[in-house]
Amino acid sequence: MSYHGGGHRRKQYRGGDDYSGHDHRHETFETPEQKLRKSIINLGEVDPVQELSRLANDLRAANDAAIAAGGPAIPAITEGFRIGVTEQPFKIPYYATLLRLLHDPATDAEDNASTDGSPALGKQVLEDFWKGFQTFLDKLAWREIRFCIQFFAHCTMAGLVSSQTLFELLRSFTVVLQEFGVSHGRAMKAGLCAAEGLMIAGPIMLKSGTDVTEIITAIGDYSESVNSTKTLVQPVVKLYDQSPVIEHADELLDSALAALNALVASGFAQTVDSFAQPYADFSPFPSSPFELPSVLVPPEVIELDGLTTEAGEDAQVKKEEWPAYFVRLFDNDVTPDLTTPSGYAVKSAILDIIDVFEVNRKECARLLLEYPKWTLHGTFKPRPGAPEQEPVAAKNWQLENTIIELTLGSVFLLPESIHRSIYYIALITEICKLSPQTVGPAVGKSIRKLYGLLSDGLDVEVAHRFADWFSVHMSNFGFAWVWKEWVPDIQLSVRHPKRRFVRQALEYEIRLSYYDRILKTLPEAMQSPEAQCMPEETPGPEYDYDDPSKPYHDSAQSLLSLLRGRTKAEDVVAHYESLKNTISETAEVDVNVSTVVRSIAVQSLLHIGNRSFSHFLNAIERYLPLLRNIASSGGTANIDARMDILNAVASYWKRLKNMVVIVFDKLMQYQIVDPTDVVAWTFLHGKAPTGAVGDSTFDAFQWDVLKGALDKANGRVTIARKKVTALRKEADDTAAKAIATEGAAMDVDADAKPGELYAYSTADVMHAAESPQLTTALKAFATLTREQKAALSRTVDGFVDYLVAADKSNQKAGEVITEKEWHNRVNWNEEQWETWETWCWFRHFCRAYSPYLRNYTQSLEVASMSKVASSGPAVDLFKKTWNIATGQDV
Amino acid sequence: MAHVVTPLDQPSNYKDSQARLDRQKQNELLARSSTLYIGNLSFFTTEEQIYEIFSKCTSPEEGGGIKRIIMGLDRNTRTPCGFCFVEYYTHAEALACLRYVSGTKLDERIIRCDLDLGYREGRQFGRGKSGGQVRDEHRQDYDPGRGGWGAQAQRLEIERRREVEERYADAQEGPGAVAGGGGDWKEAGTADNPLKRARSPDDQGDSERAAPRARMDDDHARM
């Protein structure tokens, strides 16, 4: 990488911001259209209000110049608006104002405009903008649709759009809420479009006598219809409670509804305190407003590839969105309340910035910290050092706390965040880097609040992500956390969520760093082994046969030396076979010789590959024949053999549990074990490395293993589907080309080479008979969907067995879900906490894999539900959870 | 969504200076690449640490994951010299790293990610005159994570250093020195896949080692 040395080139790649593009360096020339577009996009870089009239004049002048040069600049101007509105939603009120200005005739050329008779520039732009909206609508580009509606609503307030036609537009979105079987994602987005449009334009609608309750009722009815679904994705769990409203989190659509109700109650008096209206001071718009044409929200298009499983089940996965609960970390005087009009306006605007600028987290961080510029005066406390200002009642919030609360809220959305959680984690890092003194305290307070919520039922998956964020964040800031304040919690039960969190967070920190480094960051009270905060010993391998006094030491050493000497695989296999005899001659009667030999071989293989991930890959790749021999045990597929392999791995890496997950992943990749084997292992043996007390308990480590296996099974189906689709398309294309060429060849076959003609006709014949590749791909697809179903089925079985099996009563499972027991949780012992955690993982499994479970509901129920006990509170909760996840009546 | 800000997953100026391909061809390959070059690593950073942070950009449900990690080594001392390659199964995962991981810290150093044309034999070794990376030939500053000026290092890192120095002493050169990481799922018992087939001693041996190599070549042919 020779350019590292050359100082003269260095600045070109430092940081992503000053990216200049190697191939574009000479393309700095901008066309007039590009300049025009850019001037609109950059509106407000200094002061939006000041810039507006100048920009309006510039645009008018540019348009006049363009007309003189041949054609108007309307398309370029509209594109600028379109980009501005959909990519910088915080500027929407200012774009509405700019458009209002463009409706006025030019001050110096009044005669000109009135004589040529063409409509005002603003009107032409609005008409053109509408066409763009129609395109977004046709594509169901929801984010863009929402921002356009906000824009139209502001334009309505500015008098540019007729309020009756805006109302009709909003109504066409509430129609979506009443569609039969509407997906939640679609309903939520349509509902938000209507709600936000009404929040912004409510005052003028009210004035014109429109009855807005229709819209509110439609949203309310829909929200109520999904109340039971909501209970499955609340970030703070109360297993006994059915209420859609919870204390520490707000659901997005419900919050919009609450804000709307508050607005209606006050006759939309709060709109002016919630949304910027830079157009408000303008004289009323004299001409007749633009009538928005009526629209229909097109139905969702699902591209069916017609691929089904052997049993005819629909194997296509339709990812479904769920109600979105945002965790609340601060009081209403610190951060806005999402359920109030002004709170909703601020918070949803920040959420939009976080979403839109995902492509560049550094710019996103900057824009978030600059956000107050676009809000109403007094929304946030002034920055330290800025001139004092009179606090605005019920506002004056803390910007940094609000941003961190919402970013973390986005990480903790269940079942999954919109973008990968690492995006939000990296975003928080950037925000901290920009303003450490103000953001640091907000992050610290958020951590303390979340830590506190661990005692009050913070969902286990949320806690998992909390630990993940915590460790990565600390890794970026010198692992500087004040652990001291959590020392008193060492007295809690070892399985209490707070203790689980500390242990997990430290384990994750160690993975990103190393044991001694992290140990050093802890106070003494937490360093001691009795505190059980850190892993007992330095993480590392544990070869059972190292000690000469241990049984089978000699046998293991003999195999190990062959592996170390890179002996050919077949010779090692021969030696492995002979070891069976050697050991069975000397072993005690009750020893399972096969298990012992397998454990020796697998551990020895891991031992020669224990120096690094790539050493491990090299070792198993070199000795795949040995592993295959062990897994198949002389020809017959043997589940015991595969469990022995997995057990040997878990035992070897018991002091470094993430290695267990990594090794399992590669054993599946090399097809030594199947995902279903790993799922089975999770429930049969996965408990051992977790140190659990109870028999039927499931924890975060088991979840990682389970998720690895299920994702592997699902990922294989995804690849197989893509392959089939691609091959089918290829075959169709070839066929079409062949037909076209044949047609062409008749006309001008003098030029065609005989070889080409031959090739095409062969392809044609192949297609008719289905190409062998396609046959193979279809066969693979059938095998892999079968495997997928087996893995899911084994998981459901596992949870049935742990929680509600007819033949194995689990008294605790019924106990911990009652309200009475929950309020008594300070007295819970290890087993009770473990059982509660098991319930939470079951819930997470159901919601996270719901799209897959829906495809196989029937056969999974036939296979597993028969094993469920007949009745009881645990059975009720189990079935209810299952029914919500699979979209059945609760 | 690229009119207002430049996305972080745009290709940068990074290139393999010894690649014998023209710029356009290289760009085409990069647009599909699932391999990352990672720079500015500490010499002490392990593959497991690298795996941990880069696993946060995987999408296993899409058939992705970390295929393999190739640690950059000093060609003389066979010790890590501050760079590595991370290879995913999909291009999208590599892009996610450019957006979310590049420019953040690993092992308390800000690391840099760039799309790479893909690993080729020999690229695991540094190209500097003294065996390490070229940048460390010319470096003027004191950097404890990259060997200081000379052999000094922080006290806490002495133990790590010992482990690091021994870890790759066995590193090989030549074809097959680097594992493949496991390929796509294959039907058991077909001609090109000996999975779970009843084995006879004479059809094993070197043919197994050839498999990952063939797959690698195939990767390059496609890229």
Average pLDDT rounded to a whole number, residues A858-884: 93
The amino acid occupying position A67 is I
DSSP E strand boundaries for A735-839: none
Give pLDDT, residue A316. Answer: 76
Packed helices A163-177 and A213-225: angle between N→C axes, nearest 10 degrees = 20
pLDDT band per the 50, 70, 90 thresholds, residue A761: very low
- Give the tens place of pLDDT for each residue, A561-617: 999 999 999 999 999 999 988 888 877 777 889 999 999 999 999 999 999 999 999
Question: CA-nearest residue of chain B to A22?
Answer: B13
Which residue from B minimizes the CA distance to A86?
A: B1
Is residue A40 pLDDT above 60, yes or no? yes
A637/B196 CB distance under 8 A: yes
Domain parsing of chain B, residue ranges: 23-129
Cα B193 from Cα A570, distance rounded (Å):
17
Contacting A residues, span 508-537, partner chain B, CB-CB under 8 Å: 508, 511-514, 516-517, 520
Q: What percent of chain A has pLDDT over 70?
A: 92
Of the two residues A754 and A183, the one the predictor is more confident about is: A183
pLDDT at A695: 83
CB-CB neighbors (< 8 A) of A637 in chain B = 196
Contact B208 A569 (CB under 8 A): yes
- Beta-carbon contacts below 8 Å between A and B: 226
Chain B residue with the nearest C-alpha to that of A317: B61
Q: How confident is the model at residue B23 (pLDDT cuts 50, 70, 90)?
A: confident
Whether domain B23-129 has CATH 3.40.50.300: no
Higher pLDDT, A741 or A754: A741
Confidence (pLDDT) at A16: 39
- Rounded to an integer, the average pLDDT of A331-337 is 96
Q: Which residues pair with B86 in a beta bridge?
A: B36, B69
* Mean pLDDT, residues A147-171: 97
pLDDT tens profile A245-268 = 999 999 999 999 999 999 999 999
Give chain B's mean pLDDT.
Answer: 79
Q: What is the pLDDT of residue A745?
A: 58
Q: Does the pLDDT value for residue A18 go beyond 60?
A: no
Q: Which residues of chain A neighbour B201 with C-beta distances below 8 Å? A: 570, 573-574
Q: From A781, which residue of chain B is nearest by alpha-carbon distance?
A: B187
Q: What pTM was estimated for this model as a whole?
A: 0.90
- The per-residue pLDDT for B129 is 77
User: Which among A5, A476, A780 has CB closest to B187?
Assistant: A780
**Please, how many CA atoms are within 13 Å of residue A786, restricted to the half-sphere of its CB?**
8
Residues 6+ apart with CB under 8 A from A182: A176, A222
In this chain, the answer to whether the domains covering A325-382+394-531 and A553-654+656-686 adopt an identical fold is yes
A212 and A229 Cβ atoms separated by less than 8 Å: no
Judge: A569–B16 Cβ closer than 8 Å, yes or no. no
Distance, in Å, from the CA atom of A252 to the CA atom of A688, rounded to the nearest integer, reads 41
Round to whole Å and give the CA distance between A154 and A725.
Answer: 45
Q: Are A155 and A279 in contact (CB under 8 A)?
A: no
CB contact under 8 A, B205 and A19: no
Give the domain A553-654+656-686 fold: 1.25.40
> Does residue A888 have a pLDDT over 50?
yes
Q: Taking the CB of residue A596, how many other CB atoms lie within 10 A of it? A: 20
Confidence category of residue B217, pLDDT binned at 50, 70, 90: very low
Q: Phi, psi at residue A375, to the nearest 5°?
A: -100, 175
> In terms of pLDDT, which residue wins out, A9 or A452?
A452
* Nearest Cα residue in chain B from A619: B179
Please list every residue in chain B whose beta carbon sits closer than 8 Å to the beta carbon of residue A92.
Answer: none
Q: Which of B104, B157, B163, B203 to mutate to test the interface with A (most CBs of A within 10 A)?
A: B104
> Is A209 strand, coil or helix?
coil
What's the average model confidence in pLDDT over A86-106?
94
CA gap B221, A447 in Å, rounded: 49
A16 has a chain B CB within 8 A of its CB: yes
For B31-63, what is each residue's pLDDT tens digit? 999 999 999 999 999 999 999 999 999 999 999
For residue A581, the tally of other CB atoms under 10 A from its CB is 10
Shortest CA gap A427–chain B (Å) = 8
CA-based nearest residue in chain A for residue B71: A614
Nearest-Cα residue of chain B relative to residue A621 = B179
Which of chain B's residues have a Cβ under 8 Å away from the Cβ of A356?
1
Q: Which residues of B are less than 8 Å from A23 in CB distance?
A: 23, 27
Structure-block tokens of residue A530? 């009795």
Q: Do A420 and B56 lie within an 8 Å CB cutoff?
A: yes
Please enumerate in sequence order all residues whose Cβ is within 8 A of that of A306, keeping only pairs 6 or more positions apart, or say none. Answer: none
pLDDT of the residue at B149: 54
pLDDT for A383 equals: 83
In A, which residues are within 8 Å of B107 by CB distance?
Answer: 512-513
Distant-in-sequence, close-in-space partners of A419: CB < 8 Å, separation ≥ 6: A355, A358, A410
What was the pLDDT predicted at A96?
A: 97
Answer yes or no: are the C-beta atoms of A351 and A418 closer than 8 Å: no
- Inter-chain touch A628–B199, beta carbons under 8 Å: yes
Mean pLDDT of chain A: 90
Pick the CATH number of A325-382+394-531 from 3.40.50.2300, 3.30.70.330, 1.25.40.180, 3.40.50.170: 1.25.40.180
Q: Which of residues 793-852 of A touch B (CB under 8 A)?
A: none
Across the interface, do B56 and A422 touch by the CB < 8 Å criterion?
A: yes
Distance (Å) from the C-alpha of residue A802 to the closest C-alpha of chain B? 26
Contact at CB, A569 and B205, closer than 8 angstroms:
yes
Q: What is the pLDDT of residue A607?
A: 97
Over residues A713-742, the mean pLDDT reads 89
For chain A, what are the domain ranges? 31-106+120-139, 325-382+394-531, 553-654+656-686, 764-886
Q: What per-residue confidence (pLDDT) applies to B171?
A: 87
What are B136-170's pLDDT values in tens digits? 877 777 787 887 654 444 555 667 777 788 889 88
Q: In chain A, what residues touch B111 (CB-CB under 8 Å)?
A: none
Radius of gyration of chain A (CA): 32
- The yes-or-no verdict on residue A769 having pLDDT over 60 is no
DSSP A776: H
Q: Which of A82, A612, A724 to mutate to test the interface with B (most CBs of B within 10 A)?
A: A612
